[in-house]
Amino acid sequence: MMKCSIFDHRIDLKHTFTIANRSSDWRPNLSVRLEYEGIRGYGLAAPNPRYGETPESCRAALEAMCGQLEGDPRAYEPMIRKMLASHPGEYAAKAALDMAIMDLAGKLLGAPLYRMWGLDPAAMPPTSFTIGIDTPEKVAQRAAEARGFRVLKIKLGSGDDQAIIRAIRTVTDVPVRVDANEGWTDRETALREIEQLAKQGIELVEQPMPAAQVEDMIWLKARSPLPLIADEAFTAVGDLITIGEAYHGVNLKLMKCGGTLIARDAIAMARSLGLKIMLGCMVESALGIAAAAHLGPLADFPDLDGNLLISNDPYSAHPVSDGRIRLLDAPGLGVAPLN
Ligand SMILES: [Mg+2]
């Protein structure tokens, strides 16, 4: 029998975080704790308002799905697939339960997740560190503070984009990934911006245009000098077929996939379509980041800095050194509640 507890967290950001469509000082996260044979497993939900998820709907979904969990978490795959099919939508809640079941399975089997999946933690590429939209001076200051990271990710789409990039280039020459968060609505403008970016050491551009503008994205992919990565365009594994035509890669996030198991399905399918893999996150506790980081060795572009942007994380983290997440050799997710 599985015992389930749910906790609410108010996650405070170190700096007000602005992207092309909104600004915030804090985010709601929920965590779930499952207990089985005296062992505890933890998982994190960062509900996403874009998909109609609220902390309340997330909690209700967790309660409903927890009530239906049965069996031995060592057989995690059928348990997770049954959980995923037991409730519509609410992918953040599903991600939290997937993580908690995997954490339990790892602890019961005495192995870190990366070991259960046959991955090599030494193959972890560097993660990017994200800087939100601000004045060019402030962005340059944050870029200077992010020394130690080998890759930066900059949010654009504010109208002052080229000034922001020029300001960053006065303080650092590390590769920069750009996320426009659907900020360019005209394809000619998008192409002009991307051609400028290509001259300034930019590595890739994430979601340059609104996700719904598929024909424009196919046009842009044929002309873009930089790889284009889908983010908002990915809502479910089935979207990957279209994404394969309109983008060079996809940003996969556990909170959108519904956890690690579906994320692994999505990675396999994206690879078969020739897509590059970015592994992203929300503004979220290190608990959620840990689960994604165990998949990091499968990614081309880890973008797993959500916990580094917050000031009151309720969970411990895998350390970051030389810009890479160093997965601890501990069973399950390898992190724990701090109190
Ligand atoms: Mg993005």
State the chain's mean pLDDT as an integer. 94
Whole-number Å distance, alpha carbon 67 to ligand 1 midpoint, is 34
Measure the CA–CA gap between 45 and 146, rounded to whole angstroms.
27
Distance CA 332, CA 329 (A): 9
CA of 182 to the centre of ligand 1 (A): 9
How close is the Cα of 196 to the center of ligand 1, in Å?
20
Do 318 and 217 share a structural domain?
yes
Among the three residues 113, 137, 154, which one is the final residue of a domain in this structure? 113
274 and 193 in one domain?
yes
pLDDT band for position 19 (cuts 50, 70, 90): low
Q: Give 108's contacts (C-beta < 8 A, 6+ positions apart).
A: 36, 37, 39, 73, 74
**Residue 246 CA, ligand 1 centroid: distance in Å:** 16
Indicate the residue among 91, 113, 135 that finishes a domain: 113
Residues 139 and 93 in one domain: no
How far apart (Å, rounded) are the C-alpha atoms in residues 192 and 59? 44
Whole-number Cα distances in Å, 260 to 44, 202, 219? 12, 29, 33
Whole-number Å distance, alpha carbon 155 to ligand 1 midpoint, is: 8
Residue 288 CA to ligand 1 centre (angstroms): 17
Residue 335 lies in a domain: no
Cα–Cα nearest to 181, from 216, 200, 203, 206: 206
Same domain, 209 and 80: no
pLDDT of residue 20: 58
What pLDDT is attached to residue 98?
A: 98
DSSP classification of residue 126: P
Is there a domain that residue 153 lies in?
A: yes
Domain region containing 266: 116-325
- Distance between Cα 303 and ligand 1 center (Å): 9
Q: Quick check: helix, strand or coil at residue 33?
A: strand
pLDDT tens track for 143-169: 998 888 999 999 887 768 889 999 999
Residues 96 and 122 in one domain: no
Entry pTM:
0.94
Instruction: Return the pLDDT at 3.
Output: 95
What is the number of structural domains in the chain?
Answer: 2
Ligand 1 center to 176 CA (angstroms): 14
Whole-number Å distance, alpha carbon 232 to ligand 1 midpoint, is: 7
DSSP for 157-187, written as a single string: -SS-HHHHHHHHHTT--S-EEEE-TT---SH
CA of 20 relative to ligand 1 center, distance in Å: 10
Is pLDDT above 70 for 249? yes
> For the domain that residue 271 is a member of, what is the CATH number?
3.20.20.120
pLDDT of 1? 76
Residue 8 Cα to ligand 1 middle (Å): 25
Using CA atoms, how far residue 210 sits from 181, 306, 330, in Å, is 8, 23, 41
**In terms of domains, do 302 and 320 share one?**
yes
Do 233 and 98 lie in one domain? The reply is no
Neighbours of ion ligand 1 (CB under 5 A): 179, 206, 231
pLDDT for position 21: 61
165 and 214 share a domain?
yes
Amino acid at 65: M
For residues 158 and 291, membership in a common domain is answered with yes
* Domain shared by 109 and 135, yes or no: no
Q: Flag whether 330 is in a domain.
A: no
| Closest CA relative to residue 280, chosen from 299, 303, 249, 260 | 303
Q: Say how many Å lie between the CA of residue 229 and the centre of ligand 1.
A: 9
Last residue of a domain, one of 94, 113, 132: 113
Indicate which CATH number applies to the domain containing 24: 3.30.390.10
Same domain, 140 and 261: yes
Residues 193-223 have pLDDT tens digits of 999 999 998 999 999 999 999 999 999 999 9
Contact between 252 and 277 under an 8 Å Cβ cutoff? The reply is: yes
For 66-77, how does the pLDDT look when each residue is reduced to its tens digit (9 = 90+)?
A: 999 999 999 999
CA of 34 to the centre of ligand 1 (A): 31
Say if residue 226 is in the same domain as residue 89: no
Q: How far apart are CA 330 and CA 324, in angstroms?
A: 18
